[in-house]
Structure 1
Amino acid sequence: MGVDLHTHSYCSDGTQSPADVVASARRAGLDGLALTDHDTTVGWAEAMRAAQEHEILLIPGMEITTLTDDRISVHMLSYLHDPHHEGLARAIRDARSGRMVRARRMAERLSIDFPLTWDDVLNQVADGATVGRPHLADALVAVGAVADRQEAFDRLLFRGSPYYVSQENMHPTTAIRLVREAGGVPVIAHSMASGRGRTVSMEQMEEMIDVGLAGVEVWHRDNPESGRRTLLELARRHGLLVTGSSDYHGAGKPNLIGENTTDLDTVAELMDMASGSPAYGRVQGL
């Protein structure tokens, strides 16, 4: 079945514990998964224990939110980095702090028109989790302002909404350099997902490759077919890893765990590139 290299737990904006995400991957018949919560590694230890229990491969990872000079949001997946690397850890602490400030400002704007408080938002955030717009959405559901997360995003939390607050993030090339310095493997996530907003140019992709981008997430439901072809050609020219994944969030999104996967040969190549942290659990052939 391969390895799903992009999943989330309630340590960021998923709805399951890290152990439950691992168990879901096992039930789906996967060989392995990567836990890639936003701007945090707090779920790694629990996921590692679960991977050993279920005899499934776990690739510890993280999804880093970055921003280009022309303010295009880029999500960078980092695999097998050293979570204690000073430079990367400091940058992630700053990112988490920025997320908290942004969420609070959005909550203040929403509270003018809806019976929403900051405590309502915090009630949706697991201990140590990274705060994001999905927690605002869940809080809006809890107070009866919307029916579900999707309505919250469609009506209130979308980019350009009067309630939306932008966040300052590190540049994609900075993230790539830090991940490499931490012994990790950087792969850009759903980079052709035009339905999410503006996407990066080929010139910007080439810039990322020049500083150490290792791979591209091609097989993702939000990449259109034309975008996949573009990414496959880019990967062929530059010898990049080609990955597939679900971007699973439990009940937080319709994405199904294992709906896209990465083959074991590519996973083995990714593991060989890394020097920051080991993989956990086991899978035949790796």
Structure 2
Amino acid sequence: MRIDLHAHSNVSDGTETPAGVIISAVAAGLDAVALTDHDSTDGWDPAAAAARDHGIAFVPGMEISCRTEQGISVHLLSYLHDPAHAGLLEEITKSKDARLTRAEHMVTLLSEDYPLTWDDVIHHVAPGATVGRPHIADALVAAGVVADRSEAFTSILTSHSRYFVQHYAPNPAVAVELVRAAGGVPVFAHPVASSRGRIVGERTYREMIDAGLMGLEVEHRDNPEEGRDFLRMLAAEHGLLITGSSDYHGAGKPNLLGENTTSPAVLARIEEMATGSTVVR
């Protein structure tokens, strides 16, 4: 059984519709796939309907954007939580609103030096989707400023760029607590992906584990091998689940569905632990 627990649709920064992600997962030979859009569960219903139609298991999920007190970005995967939980919903709504304001500010700065308008960016955002840097990157590609998203993120849109604007994000330990309160299973996404920026230290792991962290996404293309060894030891020490996934974004990234997978036993444990929602079969 092949299981991929990390994929994005155009509800956030992927390029395929939620149903399109399901169809791609079937084509990739997967038996189960999670949709984990950034700070949004809007893709759950169409993904679930497509999963039923195509005979694949669908794991409802979300990726929550967090930030430590030291300013380090942390992504937290939430599986099978209650999408209507008031506390969690309030927090992700706050984050989505902040992303919109941040994106508008960044476009204003970029427009001083590049042929870019807000309408150019919105053209690349699906209705109701969370606006983010990937959509700005797509607009820059369309304008011929950069060749692809990767070039945009390593140059113009890097966090060290003068065009970069920070946005609100919850503390990761607080996010873990909210996911648990919503009946979900929180898993730390690509924890040692140093190519993405600064990574957290012992204090943040301890705080997240104390708050109820239940797993670590170990098998991910951005985690270096020595970092994976550390994560496996940490998981063994604290009884945490180990997951593997692609972090699929369609044409937005080179990541391929099923390039890393999660064991059926781990998915079964996630189902046992969760009380907020269920896997669609």
* TM-score class, shorter: over 0.9
Inter-partner Cα distance in structure 1 for 2:194 and 2:258: 22
Tell me the equivalent position of 1:245: 245
Inter-partner Cα distance in structure 2 for 1:170 and 1:204: 13
Tell me the equivalent position of 2:118: 118
TM-score by length of 1: 0.97
Tell me the equivalent position of 2:192: 192
TM-score by length of 2: 0.99
Give CA-to-partner distance per residue, 1:16-42, whole Å, 9 cap, x none: 011111111111111101000000001
Inter-partner Cα distance in structure 2 for 1:171 and 1:189: 15
Matched, 1:128 2:118: no
Give CA-to-partner distance per residue, 1:135-184, whole Å, 9 cap, x none: 00001112222222122112200110011111121000110011000000
Tell me the equivalent position of 1:234: 234
Inter-partner Cα distance in structure 2 for 1:228 and 1:264: 20
Secondary structure at the counterpart of residue 112 of structure 1: coil
Tell me the equivalent position of 1:278: 278
AA aligned to 2:81 is: H
Structure 1: stretches of 5+ with no match in the other structure: 282-286
Greater alpha carbon shift after TM alignment, 43-52 vs 199-208: 199-208
Structure 2: stretches of 5+ with no match in the other structure: none
Superposition map of 1:1-286 within 5 A: 1-281=1-281
Greater alpha carbon shift after TM alignment, 8-17 vs 196-205: 196-205
AA aligned to 2:122 is: L
Inter-partner Cα distance in structure 1 for 2:125 and 2:163: 20
Secondary structure at the counterpart of residue 113 of structure 1: coil
* TM-superposed deviation, 1:214: 0.4
Q: C-alpha root-mean-square deviation of aligned residues, in Å?
A: 0.8
**Number of aligned positions between the proteins:** 281
AA aligned to 2:135 is: H
Greater alpha carbon shift after TM alignment, 77-86 vs 144-153: 144-153
Secondary structure at the counterpart of residue 78 of structure 1: strand
Inter-partner Cα distance in structure 2 for 1:267 and 1:2: 11
AA aligned to 2:216 is: V
Secondary structure at the counterpart of residue 58 of structure 1: strand
Inter-partner Cα distance in structure 1 for 2:220 and 2:145: 31
Task: Report percent identity of matched pairs.
Answer: 58
Inter-partner Cα distance in structure 1 for 2:102 and 2:73: 15
Secondary structure at the counterpart of residue 6 of structure 2: strand
AA aligned to 2:64 is: I
Tell me the equivalent position of 1:284: none
AA aligned to 2:40 is: T
* TM-superposed deviation, 1:203: 2.3
Inter-partner Cα distance in structure 2 for 1:246 and 1:150: 17
Secondary structure at the counterpart of residue 60 of structure 2: strand
Give CA-to-partner distance per residue, 1:189-231, whole Å, 9 cap, x none: 0000011111011221011101100000000000001110000
Secondary structure at the counterpart of residue 65 of structure 2: strand
